[in-house]
Amino acid sequence: DTGVSQDPRHKITKRGQNVTFRCDPISEHNRLYWYRQTLGQGPEFLTYFQNEAQLEKSRLLSDRFSAERPKGSFSTLEIQRTEQGDSAMYLCASSLDLGSLHFGNGTRLTVT
Amino acid sequence: QQQVKQSPQSLIVQKGGISIINCAYENTAFDYFPWYQQFPGKGPALLIAIRPDVSEKKEGRFTISFNKSAKQFSLHIMDSQPGDSATYFCAASNQVLKGAGNKLTFGGGTRVLVKP
What angle (nearest 5°) sits at the alpha carbon of residue A19, between those of residues A14 and A25?
145
C-beta atoms of A56 and B43 within 8 A = no
Chain B interface, mutation test: which of A59, A69, A101, A105, most B Cβ atoms within 10 Å?
A101
The mean pLDDT value of chain A amounts to 94
Q: How far apart are CA B78 and CA A98, in angstroms?
A: 29
**Average pLDDT, integer, range B5-28:** 96
Q: How far apart are CA B73 and CA B85, in angstroms?
A: 21
C-beta atoms of A4 and B43 within 8 A = yes
Given a cut of 80, whether residue B16 has pLDDT beyond it is yes
pLDDT for the residue numbered A2: 75
Q: How far apart are CA A95 and CA A100, in angstroms?
A: 6
As a whole-number percent, the residues of chain A with pLDDT over 90 amount to 84
CB-nearest partner of A56 from B6, B101, B104: B101
Q: Tens digits of per-residue pLDDT, A53-91?
A: 998 899 888 899 999 999 889 999 999 999 999 999 999
* Ramachandran quadrant class, B5 (left: phi over 0; alpha: psi -120 to 50; beta: rest): beta
Enumerate the residues of chain B whose CB falls inside 8 A of the CB of residue A99. Answer: 102
**Average pLDDT, integer, range A27-35:** 94
CB A73, CB A62: distance < 8 Å: no
Closest CA to B35 of B88, B83, B94, B77: B88
Closest-CA distance, A42 to chain B, in angstroms, reads: 5
Is the minimum CB–CB distance between B42 and chain A shorter than 8 Å?
A: yes
Q: How far apart are CA B23 and CA B1, in angstroms?
A: 15
CB-nearest partner of B104 from A41, A50, A101: A101
* Coil/strand/helix, residue A84: helix
Is the minimum CB–CB distance between B24 and chain A shorter than 8 Å?
A: no
CB-nearest partner of A48 from B43, B101, B105: B101
CB-nearest partner of B102 from A43, A91, A98: A98
Return the amino acid letter for A105: N
The two most distant CA atoms of chain A are separated, in Å, by 38
Closest CA to B105 of A88, A56, A29, A35: A35
pLDDT for the residue numbered B1: 47
Given a cut of 70, whether residue B2 has pLDDT beyond it is no
Q: Which residues of A touch B (CB under 8 A)?
A: 4, 31, 33, 40-45, 48, 50, 55-56, 91, 93, 95, 98-106
Given a cut of 70, whether residue B8 has pLDDT beyond it is yes
pLDDT for the residue numbered A99: 81
